[in-house]
Amino acid sequence: MAARGPGPQSAEDRLIARYFRPLANHPGAFGLSDDAATLTPPAGSDLVLTTDAIVGGVHFFANDPADLVAKKALRVNLSDLAAKGAKPAGFLLTLALPKTIGDAWLKVFAGGLAADAEAYACPLLGGDTVRTPGPVTISITAFGTVPQGTMVRRGGAKVGDRVLVTGTIGDAALGLVQRRVAGAVRRWKLDRAQRDHLAERYLVPQPRIAIAEALRVFANAAMDVSDGLAGDLGKLCAASGVAAAIEIAQVPLSEAARKAVTAERSRIQTVLTGGDDYEIVCTVAPERLTPVRTAAAAAGVPVSEIGVVVAGKGAPKFLDHTGKPLLLKRPSFSHF
């Protein structure tokens, strides 16, 4: 992504200069006036790299507000950085735009992105804008730093570790159902604030950057929950060569989600396997539970203990109040 200085400009140059240069306040971004950016992690640090794309009609709706689309695109990447214990350092943006997208949309999009780049201290370093005959596609690569060798891995869970999650689970997936399935809102008897809560949880993830440092210091394994708690915890267990036993009653639900599940019991499947939570699941040795809780409280991030890492292989078990494992119809969300 690079705009010209003086002289005649292409439409692409103009849109970069107008909307994106203000976000590029990192010295290594060179004001988006070059073909590449530079980034130099502090001595003794590793750079943590993650990339996630969102596609119109797949990961967001075409009529979602452009500022929230921008925030979602960045935050799904910040969520990965947080789970890995990394501090944000910057990002690259690739924007594939259909001809139908005009300046009004781009202005709002850039505004949302600017607000988050500022809020999360994660400046725009560069990028690329391309035309597409398909839907708006936003691919972001985000960079973070950790002291060398300390990135929190998926594969570090140990038998006896406690399984913790941040925030509440299932809201975003229920928010999507509420948007797509006629009658859901009526059946669940949600009030306006509860409906808004679920809708917003789908639209804009809250990346748990505030707890990244505590995870790095105290967690044995962590990943963000983007494709459903059951499936993602399964991936963490598989990478660690362990299994897990989770008490469904301990999985933290918002008031809205609790009402939905109470009214329609099968929705517990949506909660445990639906995507877009962007919370963090991690495993922590029992003796480190207290420091993790203290650090999380100081960071203002709710954490809940939901189960324990056990020896074995295979998918984690989700146990009901009688201790019986729930059969999950489709453990992990996948567009494939």
Stretch 74-103 residues interacting with its own copies (CB under 8 A): 80-81, 83-84, 86, 92, 94, 96
Point out which span in 121-129, 180-188, 254-262, 293-301 binds its own copies (CB under 8 A): 121-129
Residue 259 backbone phi and psi in degrees, to 5: -65, -40
Residue selected from 58, 121, 297, 298 as contacting its own copies according to rule CB under 8 A: 58
> Half-sphere exposure of 196 toward its Cβ, with a 13 Å CA cutoff?
3
Residue 231, phi-psi category: left (phi > 0), alpha (psi -120 to 50), beta (remainder): alpha
Point out which span in 109-117, 136-144, 159-167, 293-301 binds its own copies (CB under 8 A): 136-144
Q: Which is closer to its own copies, CB of 15 or CB of 272? A: 15
The residue written with tokens 């967001």 in the block is 60
| Structure tokens that stand for 183 in this block | 């009658």
Residue 281 DSSP one-character state = E
Q: What's the CA gap between 241 and 227, in Å, rounded?
A: 20
53 lines the binding site for its own copies (CB under 8 A): yes
Question: By CB under 8 A, what part of segment 146-185 binds its own copies?
Answer: 146, 148, 151, 153-155
The answer to whether residues 153 and 56 touch, using CB atoms and an 8 Å cutoff, is no
The nearest distance, CB 12 to its own copies, in angstroms, is 4
336 lines the binding site for its own copies (CB under 8 A): yes
279 lines the binding site for its own copies (CB under 8 A): no
Q: Which is closer to its own copies, CB of 6 or CB of 183? A: 6
304 lines the binding site for its own copies (CB under 8 A): no
| Structure tokens that stand for 93 in this block | 């943006």
Residue selected from 235, 258, 288, 293 as contacting its own copies according to rule CB under 8 A: 235
The nearest distance, CB 305 to its own copies, in angstroms, is 22
Q: Which is closer to its own copies, CB of 147 or CB of 286? A: 147
What are the distances in angstroms from CA 194 to CA 9, 197, 259, 326? 48, 5, 9, 27
Point out which span in 126-134, 199-207, 244-252, 257-265 binds its own copies (CB under 8 A): 126-134
- The residue count of the chain comes to 336
Q: What's the CA gap between 115 and 67, in Å, rounded?
A: 9
